[in-house]
Amino acid sequence: MFEVELFLSAFAILFVIIDPPGCAPIFATLTNGTSRQHQKAMAFKSVFIASIILFGFAYVGEFIFSKLGISLDALRIAGGIMLFIIGLNMVFEKRTESREGRAEEVLEEVTHPEDISVFPMGIPMIAGPGTMASLLIMMGKTETLAGQISILAALALTLIITLITFLIAGPLMKLMGKSVTDVLTRVLGVLLTTLAAQFVLDGLKGSLF
């Protein structure tokens, strides 16, 4: 069994939050000048690490939050506010500047800067707090196995697309150009702020009524 509507909704949310087109230029920058073999290794390793974290969090995240006494509605509100800020940063180019700043810090501070699979690509570029919060919220809203499978399938598809964008990051950036990338980032930011507002409204509705 498969819930197509839930799959499409989950895919839209996860794609916007993970933002493969936005991660691609940073990956290309961090692996610039390295061999093609190394670039492929970093692409696969980054997505693999993020996959373990996200799929694991999708199942144990709710248990952890229940032990801490945190309600799902509180997470919806907090996650929605956080995602709204991320969306605004995308619209006003702050997210790109932040990513570039993190990339420069890694290149300067890490002893072996060529290994960027864990940080910053795996965490927090792919498996960031926004992605984790969204997964937990969506998994908590569905009570059926079909719904859970649909959400996890959306996550898997998003991660596959992310891997593909990493593998073609260099040629892709040359093809798209900075102007196209900037426009795409802003459009995704507007969509993300709208989804974040819905998260907050759902949280307020659940806690007050």
For the segment 91-134, what is each residue's pLDDT rounded down to a tens digit?
A: 886 555 555 555 555 555 444 445 889 887 888 789 877 788 88
Does pLDDT of 181 surpass 70?
Answer: no
Specify the pTM.
Answer: 0.70
In this predicted structure, what is the pLDDT of residue 95? Answer: 52
- Cα 58 from Cα 148, distance rounded (Å): 9
76-129-4 Cα angle (round to 5): 65
In this predicted model, which residue has the larger pLDDT, 175 or 162? Answer: 162
CB burial of 32-60 (b: ≥16 within 10 Å; e: otherwise) equals: eeeeeeebebbbebbbebbbebbbebbee
Please report the sign of the dihedral spanned by the C-alpha atoms of residue 32, residue 159, residue 91, residue 135.
negative
* Token pair recorded at residue 29: 């920058």
Average pLDDT, the chain: 81
Give me the helix-helix angle, 169-208 and 4-18, nearest 10°.
120
DSSP code at position 93: T
Give Cβ neighbours of residue 45 (< 8 Å, ≥ 6 apart): 117, 122
In this predicted structure, what is the pLDDT of residue 109? Answer: 41
- Cα 130 from Cα 138, distance rounded (Å): 12
- Cα 157 from Cα 149, distance rounded (Å): 12
Does pLDDT of 33 surpass 80?
Answer: no
In this predicted structure, what is the pLDDT of residue 113? Answer: 43
For 54-88, write each residue's pLDDT tens digit.
999 898 887 887 788 877 678 778 777 877 887 78
In this predicted structure, what is the pLDDT of residue 105? Answer: 53
**Domain count along the chain:** 1
- Cα 31 from Cα 4, distance rounded (Å): 37
Looking at residues 170-189, what average pLDDT do you find?
Answer: 72
Which domain does 70 fall in, by range? 4-208
Give me the helix-helix angle, 20-30 and 4-18, nearest 10°.
40
